[in-house]
């Protein structure tokens, strides 16, 4: 169902019934492909900024400067190429954030103890009420042989991993 008929002055706004996504294509607001781009007045200076929101998120995934129009007063209108570039950039920002978060919460090292090689991993479980971590050991065949709960601030390093393995995988104090 189309709510506004296309006109030479504005882009169409297509709103689908049911579970289908809303598509909006206006000079300062685009919604499509699970993303929303909003051109807003930049509060820090006299220019304009663009905010990119992933559907369902309250905070923008990306905020960046936006180009002024030809009259040097109004913002340049959004277009399909700019919108797709913004989606790509915002997606990359989200991916980098997720990778950083994963690396912050998951660490692993490999240690040799005796004749065996062990992969010792620490997975932090963030929780406001019960933050903790899981310390696990995997043998050279890829079989997990031990897993214990430890404090969220447990420091995994070569010395602590070797001590844990040599100690028979007992829960560190």
The residue with greater pLDDT, 7 or 159, is 159
> What is the average pLDDT value for the chain, to the nearest integer?
88
Contacts 24+ apart (CB under 8 A), 164-172: 164/120, 164/135, 164/137, 165/111, 165/113, 165/118, 165/120, 165/137, 166/113, 169/137, 169/145, 172/135, 172/148
> 147: which 2 tokens?
């897993």
What strands lie across the sheet with 2-4, from one edge to the other?
A: 2-4, 13-15, 22-26, 29-32, 35-41, 48-54, 62-66
DSSP per residue, 35-93? EEEEEEE-TTSSSEEEEEEETT-SS-SEEEEE-B-TTSSSBPPP-HHHHHHHHHHHHHH
Dist CA 157 CA 173 (whole Å): 15
Dist CA 31 CA 40 (whole Å): 15
73-99 pLDDT, tens digit per residue, is 889 999 999 999 999 999 999 999 999
99-120 pLDDT, tens digit per residue, is 999 999 999 999 999 999 999 9
Q: What is the pLDDT of residue 88?
A: 97
Percent of all residues in the chain with a pLDDT value above 70, rounded to a whole number: 88
Q: b/e map of 40-70 (b: 16 or more CB within 10 Å)?
A: eebeeeeebbbbbbbeeeeebbbbeebeeee
Average pLDDT rounded to a whole number, residues 29-55: 92
Dist CA 30 CA 57 (whole Å): 16
Contacts 24+ apart (CB under 8 A), 123-132: 124/152, 125/152, 126/152
132 pLDDT higher than 50: yes
| Range with the poorest average pLDDT among 61-75, 106-120, 124-138 | 61-75
> 121: which 2 tokens?
């991993």
């Amino acid at each position: 169902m189309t709510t506004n008929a296309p006109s030479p002055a504005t882009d169409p706004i297509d709103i689908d019934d049911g579970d289908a996504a809303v598509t909006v294509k206006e000079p300062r607001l685009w919604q499509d492909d699970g993303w929303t781009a909003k051109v807003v007045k930049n509060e820090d200076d006299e220019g304009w900024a663009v905010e990119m929101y992933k559907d369902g998120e309250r905070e923008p995934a990306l905020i960046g400067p936006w180009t002024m129009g030809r009259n040097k007063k109004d913002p340049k209108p959004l277009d399909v190429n700019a919108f797709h570039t913004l989606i790509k950039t915002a997606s990359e920002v989200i991916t980098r954030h997720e990778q950083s978060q994963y690396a912050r919460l998951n660490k692993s090292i490999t240690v040799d103890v005796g004749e065996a090689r062990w992969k010792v991993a620490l997975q932090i479980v963030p929780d406001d009420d019960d933050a903790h971590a899981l310390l696990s050991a995997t043998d050279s065949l890829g079989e997990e042989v031990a897993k214990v709960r430890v404090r969220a601030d447990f420091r995994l390093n070569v010395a602590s991993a070797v001590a844990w393995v040599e100690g028979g995988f007992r829960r560190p104090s």
